[in-house]
Amino acid sequence: MNIATLIRYKKGTYEGIWNGNSWFAHGNLIDIARRYGVGMTVIATDGDYEKVCQVCDGLIIPGSSINIDPSFYGQAPFDPRNEVEEYLLDSKIIEAFDKMGKPMFGICGGIQALNVYYGGTLGRVSNLKTDAHSESPSSHGAEEQRTDRYGNVIAYKTHPVKVKKGSFIHDVFQSERILTNTYHGYALDRVAEGFEVVATSDDGIVEAVEWKEKKVYGTQWHPELAYRLSDPLELRIFENFLRTCAENAK
């Protein structure tokens, strides 16, 4: 089995070795692919991309440091515009996998890319919150210093999330209330038709969606970061997605 993922942009020099900007693949996703013995193809350009998509059984759209320009969902563009727009490639790859009927899973910026592709919109988190007391510690949880599997110390930000029974998230956690990490400035505003919202934060932010018929899923948080912090539970999200890809390939 082979899973595709998308390349991401990093502005500035890399460890002081190379001048200019760089592109990278998310190491946590590669580690997970290795753990389960599946191939991972990193799509870096749109050259002959449809042929690349044909040999992959599913797509993971990773998070990004670049917010999708609002012009892609019918709003006034950023000023200034992003120097690089990852969504141009993301949308072509999403379209290819959609046409081929293959499963997709979006993480953070990835769930946003899926929502925009299918006709939804995004907004700043600060403008989307519905709870006037959403900045309280009880709403967002405490930030704690956690050490990852490589010995790096991470400021791990968490908040509680409400989960819908029968969803792919509930299948993993077996709970209607969980604690997830949070690292995003934008989130889903108008949810694309076809998606079902299956998890929300206490302050009204969409945290997970699914489209069961299309086998398309997304989380606003980073389950791959939980894996990096040696949390075995959120690995089940990837296990279930890989199983879905394998069954769909049959």
Q: Residues 148-199: pLDDT tens digits?
A: 888 999 888 889 999 999 999 999 999 999 999 988 889 999 999 999 999 9
Among 31-35, 174-178, 223-227, 244-248, where is mean pLDDT lowest?
223-227
Evaluate whether 14 touches 21 at the Cβ level (below 8 Å).
no
User: Considering just the CA atoms, what is the radius of gyration of the chain in Å?
Assistant: 18
Looking at the structure of the chain, the number of domains it has is: 1
List the domain range (segments joined by +) for residue 8.
2-249
Question: What separation in angstroms does the CA of 85 have from each of 64, 67, 73, 227?
Answer: 11, 8, 14, 28
Under the banding of pLDDT at 50, 70 and 90, the label for residue 17 is: low
pTM for this prediction = 0.93
CATH of the domain at 141: 3.40.50.880
Q: Residues 22-50: pLDDT tens digits?
A: 888 999 999 999 999 999 999 999 999 99
